[in-house]
Amino acid sequence: MRALTPAFAERAAHWDRTRSYCWQNVADLTAAGLMGMAIPRALGGGGASTFDVVQIVEEAARACTLTARILVEANMGGVGAVMAYGTDAQKRLAADLVLAGDKPAICISEPHAGSAATDMATRADRRGDRWVLNGTKHWITGGGVSKLHLVFARAFDERGAELGIGGFLVHVDPAGGIAPAGFEVVRHERTMGLCGMPEAELRFTDLEVPDDMLLRTPSGMAHGFADLMTAYNGQRVGAGTIAMGVAAGALDHARRYLRQREQFGRPIAEFQGLQWMLADMDALVHASRLMLHEAARSADREGHRFPDMLLAARAKAFASESAIKVVNDALQMFGARGYGGEEPLERMYRDVRMFTIGGGTAQILKTQVAGAILGMKTPQTRDGSAPR
């Protein structure tokens, strides 16, 4: 990764300015074996641990937030869920696509169901050996470029009885212009940061999904959503790592600039006020890294598949909020130059702002942490079950 990051850093402004997906970076990641590095070796992946992945993601995020985001979604979250719960055929499908450069899309959020994910209205009706999906998903990261989609929907049997929330694998090929009937990319949002990553609204109209593309979890359909959200803890650790990596990159920029910039006849690194800012920034990055590594290692313990919920929520909330402060303070040290587009900090600040929102807002994650500490259910769990 360190061999690739100079090129990633050089290209980052281009993806941001043109709002284009970084296909060139994806090709480099694929050639290096970093797409699907966490996929088991038996399926052609690298068999990397969660701890291995977060270290690679941090290095990528120092150079290019967009590239780090792709790495997370090609190794954690939805991919992890398929590798844990999927059939052999489902695992093979996901592995083949990711190892060839695909970034799977996780389709949870809807126009009226964001943090309250269990309020989703998208439904899947059983029709013989198929499921028929109808509904709308919003803020789907990678919509329009991703080939594999993990779509969450409220499932109903043939008599109309609700079964629970299930995850359905939908395979499309945007580059080849192939999409199943009933799958539509309605529009893309114009975002503040991460401008090369499409955030799409998807619409499903009588979209037929074979029964063998339903991701069946150990708890069954009635509680399967809890199983799938347990897998999502990996995505949260990945998102927190991206934020921390961006902050670490901003800290690097600030350290170099303090030594180079002179005012009042001396380097500004000699000013105590800026030294204290730098020390605080370093402490936040270091603390974030330790929390994220602790959460990552919890997934690699014997008998575990995913990070512990409490550790993941705590780390992601802390790292994402800390990153905003670190990048903001780094930009402040650069003064007007940091506010302009000549330096990468302006882009990094816009990018990092997303991570207290996407993948679980900081407030929802803190509610989960408090719920775990107090032994209480969190408001967003409709069935009253405690998060895991």
- Domain membership of residue 276 as a residue range: 222-374
Q: Give average pLDDT by consecutive 10-residue segment, the chain, 388 residues.
A: 96 97 98 97 96 97 98 93 95 97 94 82 96 97 94 94 93 78 94 97 96 89 78 94 98 97 95 98 98 96 88 98 98 95 94 95 94 79 44
Q: What is the pLDDT of residue 246?
A: 98
Together in a domain, 276 and 249 = yes
- CA separation for the pair 72, 52 (Å, rounded): 12
Q: What is the pLDDT of residue 387?
A: 43
Last residue of a domain, one of 99, 123, 153: 99
Q: What is the pLDDT of residue 368?
A: 92
Q: What is the pLDDT of residue 185?
A: 95
Q: What is the pLDDT of residue 267?
A: 96
Residue 384 placed within a domain: no
Residue 380 placed within a domain: no
Together in a domain, 234 and 336 = yes
Together in a domain, 136 and 175 = yes
Q: What is the pLDDT of residue 99?
A: 98
For 163-200, give one letter per residue: b (16+ CB within 10 A) or e: ebbbbbbbbbeeeeeeeeebbebeeeeebebbbbbbbb
Together in a domain, 71 and 109 = no
Q: What is the pLDDT of residue 379?
A: 60
CATH number assigned to the domain comprising residue 277: 1.20.140.10
- CA separation for the pair 68, 58 (Å, rounded): 7
Together in a domain, 207 and 116 = yes
Q: What is the pLDDT of residue 385?
A: 45
Is the Cα torsion angle 304, 306, 307, 313 positive or negative in sign? negative
Residue 327 placed within a domain: yes
* The total number of structural domains that make up the chain: 3
Together in a domain, 31 and 109 = no
Q: What is the pLDDT of residue 230?
A: 87
Together in a domain, 61 and 19 = yes
Together in a domain, 305 and 317 = yes
Together in a domain, 290 and 326 = yes
Together in a domain, 226 and 348 = yes
pTM of the model: 0.93
Residue 379 placed within a domain: no
Together in a domain, 146 and 290 = no
Together in a domain, 227 and 333 = yes
Last residue of a domain, one of 219, 246, 270: 219
CATH number assigned to the domain comprising residue 198: 2.40.110.10
Last residue of a domain, one of 219, 245, 262: 219
CATH number assigned to the domain comprising residue 32: 1.10.540.10
